[in-house]
Amino acid sequence: MFIEDVRATGQETSISFFETGCVDRVRESVTGQVLVGENDQLGEFAREADLFGVGDHLVSFESDTECHYTLKVDVEAKRQ
């Protein structure tokens, strides 16, 4: 995720990665300060999750940080 024009850091940012059928999820949460700090230091804010089901996976994002967001999702198949 890339953020710019930050007006307020907010309290919490979370990304949820859901298994197929939304029966289970992996949730990553950070403070607004961590979100803005990582973006400033690394040029992006990145999180990942290993999901096991085959098929579509919902990715949901919530944040109260006031800024412009660009969200990029990369999917890598890990089947052997």
User: For 3-48, what is the HEC assignment?
Assistant: EEEEEECCCCEEEEEECHHHCCEEEEEECHHHHHHHHHHHCCCCCC
Q: Is residue 77 part of a domain?
A: no
| pLDDT value for 75 | 82
Q: Is residue 76 part of a domain?
A: no
Give domain status of residue 75, yes or no.
Answer: no
Q: How confident is the model at residue 78 (pLDDT cuts 50, 70, 90)?
A: confident
Six-digit token string for 50: 């290993």
When divided into structural domains, the chain yields a total of 1
Is 78 part of any domain? no
Whole-prediction pTM:
0.84
Query: Residue 42's domain spans which residues?
Result: 2-70
Read off the pLDDT of residues 24-75 as tens digits, 9 standing for 90 and up. 999 999 999 999 999 999 999 999 999 888 888 999 999 999 999 999 988 8
Examine residue 9 and state whether it is found in any structural domain, yes or no.
yes
CA distance 11 to 23: 27
Q: Is residue 27 part of a domain?
A: yes
